């Protein structure tokens, strides 16, 4: 059989035991799949069950995927520097994902001049107009200078500006050591007292310091120390060092989107190859429609949750998401 690879290109009404059986059957529709940690499997099952039960009174038709409208309500981090209350402010984004900690809520606006200070063990994702996503790691401080300019005062930030290579709008992240400008990409910038490290997951970034300039492409990690030689290492898209950023990925709005759209998103967020066992399977995924947003899941968990509600056979490992029938 030919192989096809894609890289980023009846509900029933009842209660009690009957409902549990229905959910159990739903979770088994996908057939054989790779084993996952018990904690993740339990969490996915509970969330699908909750949404399944809440949607019972309604359309009885069978769908490819169950709605997973789970609004994130955890709060995080503290905005430590705010603009003066009497000064005009420009809203440039909203907090879209949080991990750990008190004080800031999902949906809260972020303005020009704000600084987000994120403590250890926390994380925050900020969504800006268009396709831009900024994700701030623990022990980090990021100032929002404008819609396309940010200053990383300390710690690490991950930026995803989408697939619009060489578009007119570029983002720039300033640091004490120099500036990093994206060329349609996913990348991370990490600074401390001694150096700056730029890791590129997709696309390209340009790095400019007082002494020199550099270009980093997908799969490269460049370390620059003051008055020292530049060090270039390799970093694959599925490297475990990206996991903190995956946990802060904005949710996928799957309403009236195809399963293929969702799988492309999941593969890109996890750095895995999307692989179909045949072109017929790929076409079937393109025709399968999803309903409702996948919000309060990491990309890995969302993949398990959505695929478990379909008749596709799938396997997920460290490098690839394989879809068959």
d(CA 233, CA 222): 6
| Domain with 308 in it | 4-68+254-324
Does 219 lie in the same domain as 92?
yes
Task: Please tell me whether residues 258 and 233 are part of one structural domain.
Answer: no
| Whether pLDDT at 306 is above 80 | yes
Which of 218, 242, 266 terminates a domain? The answer is 242
Tally of domains within the chain: 2
The answer to whether residues 50 and 183 belong to one domain is no
Quick one: pLDDT at residue 129? Answer: 83
Same domain, 102 and 214: yes
Q: What is the pLDDT of residues 152-167, one digit of tens each?
A: 999 999 999 876 544 5
Q: What is the pLDDT of residues 183-240, one digit of tens each?
A: 878 999 999 888 899 999 999 999 998 888 999 999 999 998 877 788 999 999 999 9
Q: Do 63 and 89 reside in the same domain of the chain?
A: no
207: CATH: 2.60.120.1440
Q: Are 65 and 291 in contact (CB under 8 A)?
A: yes
Outline where the chain has alpha helix (H).
17-27, 38-54, 243-246, 259-270, 279-287, 299-307
Nearest to 64 by CA among 300, 315, 268, 261: 261
The answer to whether residues 211 and 261 belong to one domain is no
User: Quick one: pLDDT band at residue 28, thresholds 50, 70, 90?
Assistant: very low
Let me know whether 181 and 278 are in one domain. Answer: no
* 108 and 230 belong to one structural domain: yes
> Does 249 fall in a domain?
no
- Please name the residue that has the structure tokens 């969504």: 127
pLDDT digits (tens, 9 = 90+) for 233-278: 999 999 999 999 999 998 888 788 999 999 999 999 999 999 999 9
Same domain, 105 and 217: yes
């Amino acid at each position: 059989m030919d192989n096809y690879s894609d890289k980023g290109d009846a509900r029933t009404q009842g209660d009690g035991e009957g409902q549990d059986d229905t959910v159990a059957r739903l979770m088994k529709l996908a057939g054989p799949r790779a084993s996952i940690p018990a904690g993740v499997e339990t969490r996915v099952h509970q969330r699908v069950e909750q949404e399944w039960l809440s949607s019972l009174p309604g359309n009885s038709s069978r769908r490819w995927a169950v709605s997973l409208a789970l609004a994130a309500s955890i709060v995080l981090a503290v905005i430590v520097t705010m603009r003066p209350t009497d000064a005009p402010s420009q809203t440039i984004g909203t907090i879209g994902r949080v991990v750990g900690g008190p004080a800031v809520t999902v949906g809260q606006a972020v303005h020009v001049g704000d600084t987000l200070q994120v403590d250890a063990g926390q994380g925050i994702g900020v969504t800006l107009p268009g396709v831009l996503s900024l994700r701030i790691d623990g022990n980090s401080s990021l100032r929002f200078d404008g819609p396309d300019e940010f200053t990383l005062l300390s710690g690490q930030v991950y930026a995803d500006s989408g697939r619009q290579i060489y578009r007119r709008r570029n983002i720039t992240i300033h640091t004490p050591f120099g500036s990093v400008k994206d060329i349609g990409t996913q990348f991370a910038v990490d600074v401390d007292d001694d150096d700056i490290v730029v890791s590129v997951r997709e696309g390209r970034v340009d790095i400019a310091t007082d002494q020199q300039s550099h270009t980093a492409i997908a799969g490269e990690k460049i370390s620059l120390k003051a008055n020292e030689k530049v060090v270039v290492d390799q970093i694959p898209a599925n490297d475990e060092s990206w996991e903190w950023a995956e946990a802060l990925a904005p949710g996928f709005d799957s309403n009236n989107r195809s399963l293929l759209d969702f799988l492309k998103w999941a593969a890109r967020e996890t750095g895995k190859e999307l692989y179909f066992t045949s072109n017929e399977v790929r076409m079937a995924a393109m025709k399968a429609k999803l309903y409702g947003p996948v919000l309060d899941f990491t990309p890995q968990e969302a993949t398990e949750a959505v695929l478990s509600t379909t008749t596709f056979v799938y396997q997920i490992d460290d490098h690839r998401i394989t879809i068959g029938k």
